[in-house]
Amino acid sequence: MTIIIITAIFALALAFVIGTALGFFRDFFAVPHDPLADTIREALPGANCGACGFPGCDNYAAAIAAGKAGISSCTVGGSAVAEKLAQITGQSGEAVQQTVAVLACRGTCLHAPLKGTYTGLKTCRGAKLATGSTKLCAWGCLGFGDCVPVCKFGAITLDKEKGLPVIDYAKCTGCRMCMAECPQGLLRGVSKDQRGAIILCANRNPNRQGVIKTCKIACIKCGQCVKNCPHQCIDLSSNIPVVDLSRCDSCGTCVEKCPTKVFKIIEKDIFVSLILSI
């Protein structure tokens, strides 16, 4: 009995000493909070997505408070958050560039055949490392939906029947989490204010017959878009059409002339579910 009492007393004394030491070190090493940074942090959406260029909202708030960052980098919060930050800090900033993620591939299971039966890790990144591509098209969407769980806004779902992600542009904030996750680099940011033509294909195979074998609706490098563009703003030197959007006026000639319809006009088509129209 005596041993039990002594042990209990020793444990209580030890706990008291450790608790006192922890309290001392907590106060001694405490990092002082900047009240301005705390106020700014409360105005931010808290997505911690990194779209602003900082690891999270805390870091972005601290940078604004220290005068090392502007108030227009939060694409998730958009103009509403920028206005709040302007009131808090007294800063003025440029208009927030609202973007959405666009999938540069239309190669569904129907149009882009598989190489064979893939039995490896059921993720895009795993399939990319193991096989290069599960589809005959080495540049196409792998279809396992790695982009779906990283989206914090529920803007991406996977159409398992077609094997492609579908983006809800009403929910997409352009945070770029999905873009960083895609091992094929097929998700690209497009400004909601952008005008012009966009290409929904990444197949760079220069051989027309090779393209058709790997994807029935890919760019076949026919050059009709280049030949017929009235503004000569399309370049095919990289084996995929590249549009100079500073010169494109959305005339739609490329859309009309393209035999596989890889072109879409941003302001007319981008904010609807393009995958459903394939």
Amino acid at 100: V
| All domains in the chain, ordered by first residue | 35-89 (1.10.15.40), 99-277 (3.30.70.20)
Query: pTM higher than 0.85, yes or no?
Result: no
Q: What is the mean pLDDT of each run of 10 residues along the chain (278 residues)?
A: 76 79 68 81 87 88 90 86 89 80 93 91 94 93 95 93 92 90 95 91 90 93 96 94 95 95 90 48
Per-residue DSSP letters for 80-121? Answer: HHHHHHHHHH----PPP--EEEEE-----TTTS-BSS---S-
pLDDT at position 192: 83
The packing angle between helices 35-43 and 78-89, to 10°, is 160
Q: For residues 211-242, b (16+ Cβ closer than 10 Å) or e, as one string?
A: beebbbbbbbbeebbbeebeeebbebeeebbe
Which percentage of the chain shows pLDDT scores above 90? 53
pLDDT at position 274: 44
For residue range 234-248, what is the model confidence (pLDDT) as tens digits?
A: 999 999 999 999 999
Q: How far apart are CA 159 and CA 275, in angstroms?
A: 9
Amino acid at 207: N
Q: Which distant-in-sequence residues (6+ apart) come within 8 Å of 273 by Cβ?
A: 166, 167, 168
pLDDT at position 31: 64
pLDDT at position 27: 65
Amino acid at 50: G
Q: How far apart are CA 108 and CA 278, in angstroms?
A: 9
pLDDT at position 275: 41
- Cβ neighbours, 10 Å, residue 5: 9
For residue range 160-179, what is the model confidence (pLDDT) as tens digits?
A: 999 999 999 888 988 889 99
Place of tokens 């900047």: 34
pLDDT at position 28: 64
| Cross-strand pairs, 189 | 101
Backbone φ and ψ for 221, nearest 5 degrees, come out as 60, 35
Alpha carbon distances (Å) from 183 to 38, 105, 127, 234:
36, 13, 10, 26
Q: How far apart are CA 236 and CA 243, in angstroms?
A: 9
Q: How far apart are CA 226 and CA 243, in angstroms?
A: 10
Q: How far apart are CA 262 and CA 102, in angstroms?
A: 13
Q: How far apart are CA 29 and CA 33, in angstroms?
A: 12
pLDDT at position 248: 96
